[in-house]
Amino acid sequence: MSACPPQSAHPAASSAQPALGRRWSRLAWLGRRLGWLGLGFFLLLAVPVCFLDPPVAQPPVSPTLLDRQGRLMLARLSAEGQWLLPVRAEELGFWLPKVAVAIEDGRFWSHPGVDPLALARALGENLLSGRVVSGASTITAQTVRLLQPRPRSLWAKYLEFGQALRLERSLAKNQILELYLNIAPFGGNLKGVGAAAWAYFQKRPRDLSLAESVTLIAILRGPALYRPDRHPERARRRRDILLRRLAQKGVISSHELQIALAEPLVSQRRPFPDQAPHFGEQVFRRHPRLWVWGGADYQGLKVSLDARAQASLETRLTQALRDFPPVVTAAGIILEPRTGEILAYVGNARPQGPFGFVDCAQAKRSPGSTLKPFLYLAAIQEGLLVPASLLADTPHGLGGQAPRNFDGRYQGPVSARLALAESLNAPAIRVLRLLGQTRAQASLSRAGFTLNPKRDYGDSLALGGSEATLGELARAYGALANQGRAQESRLTPATAGEGARVSPGLELFSPEASWLINQILAEPGRLPTGLAIQGLAFKTGTSHGYRDAWLVAYHPDRVVALWLGDPSGQGHPGVSGLAALATPAALLARDLGPVPAWPQPPAGVSAYQACPLSGEPAGPLCPVGRSAWRLTRFARTQPCQLHVRQAGRTVIHWPRELAAFMAKKAGSSVGRAEAMITSPLPGATIRLTREGEALPLKSEGALGPVWWYVDGEFFAVAGPGRTPILPLTPGQHVVTLVDNQNQTAKSEFRATMALGSPEVPILRVGPDFRD
């Protein structure tokens, strides 16, 4: 038996060997030629390197604000209508740069901007195929193309590669990678991994997982094809293919591959945060460079807002508006008084409402009674009164121009402390008159309130007749909380770093007078039952006609200033400082943490034994003495003059403005005050909408029937509870009354036609500003 011939001797095998050798020989020859061609092209590119300018990275960016903890809280579209949130190289995290290089440009860290091997491979594949099936763009070249887009052509490619070489000489590798990942398209109007990571995953790039990083890099091969929000299945398949390719290359382990493949794909795009939009607009106006590309130095602006406080303020204001119509909205500011930092800001709690565009925290409105503490403070600081001083809560002695209190009543003799704590109107006017208009306006202006120097506010200055913004109130009460020192309201953190010192601020009020006011406004029991918080000071205000409700609550660490109302100026039932805002203010104070104790009284404040009625040092005739506080530098030694001896017994010698009130209360005419006409007010100008318009004739202090005379002629007699009505004609008029005790009073006034203003109401009584 003959042996089988060896396989190499088989005719077919022997003929295949030369054919295979010739094929490999041709491919080797082609490879050498393509390699030399690629090298030549590469050398050709080197010629213009010295003459080409590197592309400049100045794309418009999305201005972004970070809260004080560094979390993204607000972003806006760039000038080109795109979302572009630049990220530093060190903030890209572990997986994103690693995956980007492995998938997009494997030799990125070694080539000089153009990869000759990739160029030779692409040329060979394209020549064999007869069409373009492969490219040779590096990450550097793609960065050039994104910065300077050109129509596709060989010349454009040549310039692109040339500028890529030039860019490598201008920037380090990590800077080029950072730039590329910041401007690459990620579908729709998303540019850069910063915007894409937030839109698809609501994360920062450094927090992305392996699967999330590959999902983003997969989009680069076809932003319209592989968007997870538009084509989730296609995006998932592409992600999984790239994950397996990374495992084959040894970039990731098999264990990491299995974990990444099991991770579900996010299939929706999320909105960018839009917290505190009105606050953000203020910041953007003050920092225009937030819209400009800043490269590696750009990270968004860290502002003073605290995310927790901001969320709490938004929630509480939304709750406060539940029972109000859509046209009523609210605003709020939370301030740190020692630094002036704004920790939370809501310009409009109903941004989707009819007035959502209005920043109500900056709108000038009638402040109601919220300015009263600063008038009392100025009077105390000037030594004109002490918290225990006697004030008259009556209309007498004020020319009939004292509006009633919120409950429609007068209380008679009250202390300054009680008058401020209960926000009584007549005593506030007396304090204003005690100061005088010049000192009062100077004090309010120094506190930061913008007053019109040419306007005569009169008594209305104490009751909301001026204008104020929520921001002005927050700053002024911040000074009270900070022992009289005010800081400028800050939109960015006051402390730039470890050990940074904050300025003590400008002294608006003395620490002694501030302490006394704080003790009054922090008295326990002033808030409704269940809402009272030990140590929390507060002041409410309600403007005339229930148009504006205000409440400022504060302690040494925080100021919470709230407003609620209709931006159009219309009044609504329930728009009252205490009724509408006490609950949200108390809940906010609790949300913000423990309320600290107030400091001990300053050295310039001392205690003394006061008469409980007059507030002066208790004398031998005063029934008891009561401990009270006063400024030491204005301490008086003269004892109380209110209690006197008369007919062998101690009686109270009431001041004129209280005598009638107390006599009426006691059922006696002894010590009563003179009669006065309260409508029409002396010196008033009444604008008529028509001839014969009705004017009620009113008086105070008159006893028994009252005989009324108009222009010297008898007009009517009116008993208690009756109000004569006078038909008015244009001209100068005099109204006189005589009561049954032969008291008289006179009021001269003028009536004119309100030309072109048929809706101007008749002037009947003084303004009735409400707390």
- For 459-508, the DSSP string reads GGGGTT-S-B-HHHHHHHHHHHHTTTEE---BSS-S--STT------EE-
| Position with higher pLDDT, 372 vs 495 | 372
Mean pLDDT over the full length of the chain: 84
Q: How confident is the model at residue 203 (pLDDT cuts 50, 70, 90)?
A: very high
**Cα(182)–Cα(179) distance, rounded to whole angstroms?**
5
Residues 6 or more apart whose CB falls under 8 angstroms from that of 40 comprise none
Pair of tokens at residue 18: 């030369």
> Mean pLDDT throughout 202-231?
94
Per DSSP bridges, beta strands 72-75 and 694-696 are: unpaired
**Cα(445)–Cα(439) distance, rounded to whole angstroms?**
10
* The pLDDT of residue 191: 94
Q: How many residues are present in the chain?
A: 771
Using a 10 angstrom Cβ sphere, with 0-12 exposed, 13-18 middle and 19 or more buried, the burial of residue 682 is middle
Decide if pLDDT at 40 tops 70. no
| Position with higher pLDDT, 54 vs 439 | 439
Burial 528-564 (b: 16+ CB within 10 A, else e): eeebebeebbbbbbbbbebbbbbbbbbbbebbbbbbb
Decide if pLDDT at 31 tops 80. no
> Mean pLDDT throughout 567-580?
92
**Most confident of the ranges 141-155, 219-233, 670-684:** 219-233
For 49-104, how does the pLDDT look when each residue is reduced to its tens digit (9 = 90+)?
545 666 766 788 899 999 998 889 999 999 889 999 999 888 999 999 999 999 98
* The pLDDT of residue 447: 93
In this structure, is the dihedral angle defined by the CA atoms of residues 525, 527, 533 and 535, taken in order, positive or negative? negative
Decide if pLDDT at 215 tops 80. yes
| Position with higher pLDDT, 479 vs 27 | 479
Q: 292 with 80: CB under 8 angstroms?
A: no
For 230-271, how does the pLDDT look when each residue is reduced to its tens digit (9 = 90+)?
999 999 999 999 999 999 999 999 999 999 999 999 889 999
Kind plus residue range of the DSSP H or E element containing 180 = helix 173-183
Q: 558 with 334: CB under 8 angstroms?
A: yes
The three state secondary structure string of 324-345 is: CCCCCEEEEEEEECCCCEEEEE
Alpha helix positions (H), 558-680: 577-591, 656-666
For 305-356, how does the pLDDT look when each residue is reduced to its tens digit (9 = 90+)?
999 999 999 999 999 999 999 999 999 999 999 999 999 999 999 998 888 8
Residues 6 or more apart whose CB falls under 8 angstroms from that of 215 comprise 200, 228, 235, 239, 265, 266
Q: Strand locations in 569-675, DSSP E? A: 605-610, 626-631, 643-646, 649-652
Pair of tokens at residue 745: 């009073």
Smallest CA-to-CA distance from 243 within 94, 63, 99, 46 is with 99
For 145-196, how does the pLDDT look when each residue is reduced to its tens digit (9 = 90+)?
888 877 877 777 777 888 888 888 888 999 999 999 999 999 999 999 999 9
Entry pTM: 0.76
- Could you tell me the CA-to-CA distances from 649 to 643, 644, 645, 653 in Å, in that order? 10, 8, 5, 12
Single-letter code of the amino acid located at 168? E
> Mean pLDDT throughout 281-299?
75
Q: How many beta carbons lie within 10 A of that of residue 420, not counting itself?
A: 26
Decide if pLDDT at 742 tops 80. no
**Cα(506)–Cα(526) distance, rounded to whole angstroms?**
30
For 99-149, how does the pLDDT look when each residue is reduced to its tens digit (9 = 90+)?
999 998 888 898 888 877 766 665 555 555 554 445 567 898 889 888 887
* The pLDDT of residue 471: 96
Terminal CA-CA length for the chain: 126
- DSSP labels, 497-559: STT------EE-S-HHHHHHHHHHHT-TTSSPTTT--TT-EEEEEE-TTS-EEEEEEEETTEE
Lowest-confidence pick of 163-167, 215-219, 221-225 = 163-167
Kind plus residue range of the DSSP H or E element containing 374 = helix 372-381
* The pLDDT of residue 449: 94
